Chains A and B, each alone.
Chain A
Amino acid sequence: MDAIQLLNVTKTFGEKAAVDDVSLTVPEGAVYGFIGPNGSGKTTTMRMILNIIYPDRGSIRVFGQKLSGRASQIGYLPEERGLYRRMEVRPLLEFHGELRGGRNVTAEVNSWLARLDLAHCAGQKLETLSKGMSQKVQFIASIIPQPKLLILDEPFTGLDPVSAESIRAAILDLRRRGSTVILSTHDMNVAESLCDCIFMIFKGKKVLDGSLESIQQQYGNDTIRVEAEAGAPAMEGLPNVEKVRDLGQVQELRMALGCDTQQVLHALMSRTRIRSFAVSKPSLQDIFIRIAGSEAAAEAQNA
């Protein structure tokens, strides 16, 4: 059974279509990455899946059912931090768990607090915790009791590498235990490494949907990654090169359709010493920028 089915869903706010005729199928047990620049419609789509707001047109089914009222089987981690700051961590998590699950969740709370290294602050008020620790508490609040569908909006924001790794492991563990995960992120590396499928929405419209491999397949092997002694200046004005992306130690060249990569290699060797030269598929970051343009490029770089 599919976890989520969106069929021709449209949502407008005033004159603006936040989500425009979007259809999407998320298979059960998948980790599905939602990407797109700010304001592209990711959060609106997620809120509609959660039944917090309703579509103007189209239909949404979660595990085959049209949602009415509260989405009890869905765990939700919003992008913004939204917990009662003056509550202590343990009562707070028990409140959220019981509110969604309708049962006592003390054992699960204790288990997750220990797992995410928060047991020592179970009695502390949330307002006394660091941003990263608060984020971990909020993550626990969204997964207790274990939901069939978990919607995570930017779950890694504000986390140090160690905490980020523990959240990543927890997400994969939840998937192994049967949860379907929707993950919104601006970090393309996270999307590439963690997600089974990618859904990109831009200006309310679906522009990408599928596995990373299938998406990259659409663009072909049009990318060359080069490490050269002279760096990016040596790449300027190369024949058949449409765009040079300077990543510092490595430069990414986007080739014109049907060009001979050997010619590019010869041209480069005549200018500088080449340390490495690899023809590859475009990265998700590159694809994102190609679609969303320069406006989103800065945002993606900063993610």
Chain B
Amino acid sequence: MHKRILLVAKRDYLTAIKSKPFLFGLIVTPILAGSGFIGMAIVKAKPEIADRHIAVVDHTGITTKALMESVAAKNTKDIFDKTTGKQTSARCVIESVTPNEADPQAQLLALSDRVRRHEIFAFLEIGRDALHASEDANPEKLAPSFRVDYYSNSAGIDETRGWLSGPVNDAMRRTRLAQLGIDPGRFTEVLAPATMQSMSLLSRDPSTGKVQEARKRGELEGFIVPFAMMMLLAMMVLMSSAPMLGAVADDKQQRVFEMLLGSATPFELMMGKMIAAVALTMTSSILYVAASLFVLQSMAMMGMAPLSVLPWFFVYMVADVLVISSLAIAVGSACASPTDAQHLAMLVMAPTLIPLFLLAPIMQAPNGPMSTVMSFLPPFTPLIMLMRQAMPGGVPVWQPWVALIGVIAWTLAVTWAAARIFRIGILVQGKTAKISEMARWAVKG
């Protein structure tokens, strides 16, 4: 029996690994998954550095001067790369516009037209009472005279607004301090911000007993590593298991199984396919993990590598591939054609996709009640528990082990049910089974 399982696995593995879609996916999938970072890198490599003219309508009459000084200071120090000295972002140029109190709407419309004609990038309207604290603490209900409004034609995220926020606040604080009679020479001292450095936790070396000092941690470090591990796991699982859905439906439609059933049992065929999926995933994941470690090593960033979580990555990956591939095989065998199978793809991929949809809340509170509970639900454990383990805070030692028991039980249950569906599904021709029928086959056999 084992020989036949391995023979089926070998055929499926070699066929898949030599196929163009697999090789293409091996190269393209990480590019697509990391396209956001690549885009950021491209933007960083070729930044837009043309001057951005900002018109300011200052109803306070006294803020623009301070604003110009703050912007000039920021233009001097914040738009250049500290190492290379190359300009990396646009310089802001403030243009003071005298407020038209007789017809403010006409003035704002005229400035809007200038933005549309690209004469200026954006304009600010500083409210008459903006220098005074509002009685209403809710910023949403703030009266216009207390606000600073930023008008622009930019779609999506407008970095200039964020860029200007610092100088605008700085200018207003300086103006307020001046109104309070404080010596302008002390403004920098008064307004100096505190630096809050993100640090890792201290720990004791189990072998030497020495306390290991906390180290500085980058903002991205806590986010990128867990995110990358989760995405890699999801990508690996989907790359190897999801295509199996259509492939099995196609083999069924082509009556391949009927021929094979003369030589092997349905269980042997299914196990062979699942082993091929695991082998395929291991092949690509080892390549990706090795490449990632090589890149980190060459960038002297091995400290970021989550080596303690890597064994869990592979354990979860094998379990998840077994679950998703057995689901794909079962559902594919119950479909009349590959097209029908594609309609049920979401059903198969749900355990992988749901954690991805919940990425943001889980990353915000990795040890919160929702994240913790979700990570113990076996279909989601591989992705969510892995991400929680890779987060800087980690998880209590017992949690992955307890969750693993659930994952093993879930994997066995799904595989068992899938085998029962597969055995019947491959012989039913001409119609795609309903989900209720599949459930009946799984329960009653």
Contacts and interface: CB of A to CB of B under 8 A. Distances in A.
B256 A99 contact: no
Given A76-B259, A82-B256, A138-B259, A99 B427 contact: no
Contact of A70 (B256, B259, B265): B265
A102 interface: yes
B258 interface: yes
A84 B256 contact: yes
Contacts of B257: 82
B216 to A, nearest CB: 54
B11 A82 contact: no
A278 interface: no
Interface stretch (B1-9, B59-67, B139-147, B177-185): B1-9
B283 interface: no
A72 B268 CA distance: 13
A132 interface: no
A81 B259 CA distance: 8
Given A82-B256, A83-B256, A95-B11, A50 B262 contact: yes
Interface residues of B, number: 22
A99 B259 contact: no
B15 A86 contact: yes
A98 B7 contact: yes
B198 interface: no
Interface in B254-283: 254-265, 268
> DSSP class of B's interface residues: helix, strand, loop or mixed?
helix
A78 B7 contact: no
Contacts of B4: 70, 99, 102
Q: Choose among A72, A74, A76, A82 the residue with the greatest number of B CB atoms under 10 Å from its CB.
A: A82
Contact of B268 (A70, A76, A87): A70
Contacts of A50: 261-262
A85 to B, nearest CB: 7
Contacts of A53: 427
A41 interface: no
Interface residues of A, number: 31
Interface in A118-144: 138, 141-142
Interface string B111-155: 000000000000000000000000000000000000000000000
A7 to B, nearest CB: 23
Interface string B1-30: 101100110010001000000000000000
Contacts of B263: 70, 72, 76, 96, 99-100
A157 to B, nearest CB: 13
Contacts of B262: 50, 52, 71, 74-76, 78, 100, 142, 151
A82 B15 contact: no
Contact of A82 (B8, B258, B427): B258
> DSSP class of A's interface residues: helix, strand, loop or mixed?
loop
B3 A82 contact: no
A85 B250 CA distance: 11
Interface in B227-258: 251, 254-258
Interface in A87-123: 87, 95-96, 98-100, 102
Contacts of A69: 1, 265
5 contacts: A50-B262, A70-B4, A70-B268, A74-B262, A82-B256
B225 to A, nearest CB: 40
Given A52-B258, A82-B259, A96-B263, 15 more contacts: A52-B261, A74-B262, A82-B254, A82-B257, A82-B260, A83-B254, A83-B256, A83-B259, A84-B251, A95-B7, A96-B260, A99-B8, A100-B262, A100-B263, A142-B262
Interface string A135-175: 00010011000000001000000000000000000000000
Interface in B382-403: none
A47 B7 CA distance: 23
A236 interface: no
Contact of A80 (B11, B258, B260, B264): B258
Nearest to A50: B262
B270 to A, nearest CB: 13
Contacts of B3: 102
> Which 3 interchain pairs have the tightest Cβ spacing?
A76-B262, A82-B255, A82-B259
A242 B327 CA distance: 61
Contacts of A86: 15
Contacts of B15: 84, 86-87
B259 A141 contact: yes
B179 to A, nearest CB: 80
A97 to B, nearest CB: 9
B325 to A, nearest CB: 19
A70 B263 CA distance: 7
Interface string B163-191: 00000000000000000000000000000
